[in-house]
Amino acid sequence: MKEKIIYIEEAPVCLIPEKRRSIRLAWDRQERLIRCFHPRSLSEAVLKNFLEKRKRRVLALFSQVFLPGEGASLLYGGEEYRLSSEAPETGETFFRDDLAKTIRTSCLNEGDLFFTRWKEYLDQEAPLCFHEKIGFWEDKTGEEASRWRFRPMRSRWGSASPQRAITLNTLLVMAPGDVVDYVILHELAHLKVADHSFRFWNEVARFMPDFNYRRSWLRENGNKILSLY
């Protein structure tokens, strides 16, 4: 089967056959549709049935898509800010007013350029937002990464390599601080336990007994952030 676009109510879904064992859904910001990567052996009828049974998830993914515009709501540190097309007087691309809860930008009406500039802004903010938290959790756990890297990622919040290098998604700057704490601890725990076994989750819970509510925030709000990739 070749690539084909179908609709689950108003949500466009592009069926993409691949050499894989499972089905994965991902939002494509440039094409403004959901991509459904699936095993080549599955028919369109089977895939439609799969998507219909998961209609709530599909529509939730589609509804959380962010579209920039005057007064649109954008998360920063887990709080909602309103976008303004009033150009920052400083000459910067973005200016955040924490009191008024607004973000002024000179590229609000420039299509995909907005997303490119926003990711660049988060790249600059990430080291400043994460540095203190990283130090705190390394001291608390006794685990140290060989290197910390920050970059935007399409579907992961973080990763830990066998060489003990940890990468954090710069889009996490948009999440609440306690959620960032969870992701940092999660990746540090992987330096001790590589998989997601019972032992791994015990290690996370040992330092953060309430990690499940922070994890739930990512599940409920993560697609809204990741759609900006």
Residue 108: predicted pLDDT: 84
Alpha helices, H only, the chain? 44-53, 55-63, 112-141, 177-190, 198-207, 211-226
Q: What does the pLDDT look like over 166-221, one tens digit per residue? A: 999 999 999 999 999 999 999 999 999 999 999 999 999 999 999 999 999 998 88
Is the model's pTM score more than 0.95? Answer: no
The tokens describing 191, both together, are 């330096």
Half-sphere exposure of 211 (CA within 13 A, CB side): 18
pLDDT above 90 covers a percentage of the chain that reads 68
Segment among 81-95, 114-128, 205-219 with least mean pLDDT: 81-95
Question: Averaged over 54-83, what is the pLDDT?
Answer: 85
Assess whether pLDDT exceeds 90 at residue 87: no
**All structural domains of the chain:** 4-63 (no CATH), 112-226 (3.30.2010.10)
Distances (CA, A) of 198 to 27, 68, 141, 195, 211: 31, 41, 18, 9, 14
Residue that wins the pLDDT comparison between 91 and 197: 197
Question: Averaged over 5-11, what is the pLDDT?
Answer: 90
Confidence category of residue 1, pLDDT binned at 50, 70, 90:
low
Confidence category of residue 64, pLDDT binned at 50, 70, 90:
low
32 vs 147: CA distance, rounded Å: 35
Q: What does the pLDDT look like over 98-112, one tens digit per residue? A: 999 999 998 887 777
Residue 32: predicted pLDDT: 78
* In contact, 204 and 186? CB cutoff 8 Å: yes
16 vs 37: CA distance, rounded Å: 5
Per-residue DSSP letter, 159: E
Confidence category of residue 141, pLDDT binned at 50, 70, 90:
very high
